């Protein structure tokens, strides 16, 4: 394989990771908009759940039908190992619960839309920390936990600190513009014609 092709292939993970950042970065805003528009001007307490239904529809289209089309086009084998099925279902369940609780968090701040970015910042700052800890438990280092470099723990601390700062220093609501003073014109005084008799003594 030419060196240029090898370098391009080695960077593909970064391209895909940045695409995930773009899609998931817009996810929270889109979910909030879905819940707002499901209300349609009313105060429907189940608007968020209605939006969640169509999130599931999108999952079916993107996560089920699209891979099946690609597998059929590529002549893939349709055998599915049972252990792989179980872990895939478990992963999908975790993702579905995550989306559900994102909706719940946004529903609790529905009257404060400036909190939506804060919710997503806490989610995306906290998720890597949980991922790192779970990965260490499931796949511990070969040389033991003592071999972990301090930079790793420092990175976790910085991520937690970032989420805390975003929450604490979140931007407040936009101040409403003061209403323009409405000047009520004084009623015009109608002057009736002078009906007094003329003065003949002048």
- 114-148 tens-digit pLDDT: 788 888 888 888 888 899 889 999 999 888 888 88
pLDDT of amino acid 11: 82
For residue range 70-118, what is the model confidence (pLDDT) as tens digits?
999 999 999 999 999 999 999 999 999 998 998 888 888 877 877 888 8
- Per-residue pLDDT for 191 more than 60? no
Q: What pLDDT is stored for residue 179 in this prediction?
A: 58
pTM, full prediction: 0.70
pLDDT, tens only, 145-160: 888 899 988 988 888 8
* DSSP assignment string, 101-156: HHHHHHHHTTT-GGGHHHHHHHHHHHHHHHHHHHHHHHS--TT-GGGS-HHHHHHH
- Does the pLDDT value for residue 40 go beyond 80? no
Q: What residues contact residue 121 under an 8 Å CB cut-off, 6+ apart? A: 162, 163, 166, 167
- The pLDDT of residue 1: 54
The residue count for the chain: 202
Q: What is the C-alpha separation between 53 and 189, in angstroms, rounded? A: 66
Q: What is the DSSP letter of 41?
A: T
Q: Judge whether residue 177 has pLDDT over 70.
A: no
In the chain, what percentage of residues exceed pLDDT 90? 23
pLDDT of 180 above 70: no
User: How many Å apart are CA 38 and CA 46, to the nearest integer?
Assistant: 9
């Amino acid at each position: 394989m030419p060196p240029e092709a090898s370098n391009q292939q080695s960077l593909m993970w970064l391209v895909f990771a940045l695409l995930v950042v773009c899609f998931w970065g817009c996810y929270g805003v889109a979910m909030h908009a879905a819940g707002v528009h499901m209300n349609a001007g009313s105060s429907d307490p189940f608007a968020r759940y209605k939006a969640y239904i169509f999130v599931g529809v999108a999952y079916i289209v993107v996560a089920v039908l699209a891979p099946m089309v690609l597998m059929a086009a590529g002549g893939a084998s349709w055998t599915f190992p049972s252990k792989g099925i179980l872990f895939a279902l478990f992963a999908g369940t975790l993702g579905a619960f995550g989306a559900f609780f994102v909706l719940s968090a946004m529903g609790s701040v529905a009257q404060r839309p400036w909190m939506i970015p804060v919710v997503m910042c806490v989610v995306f700052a906290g998720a890597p920390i949980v991922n790192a800890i779970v990965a260490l438990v499931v796949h511990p280092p070969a040389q033991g936990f003592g071999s972990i470099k301090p930079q790793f723990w420092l990175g976790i601390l910085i991520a937690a600190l970032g989420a805390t700062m975003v929450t604490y220093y979140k931007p407040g609501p936009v101040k409403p513009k003061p209403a323009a003073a409405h000047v009520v014109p004084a009623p015009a005084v109608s002057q009736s014609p002078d009906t007094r008799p003329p003065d003949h003594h002048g």
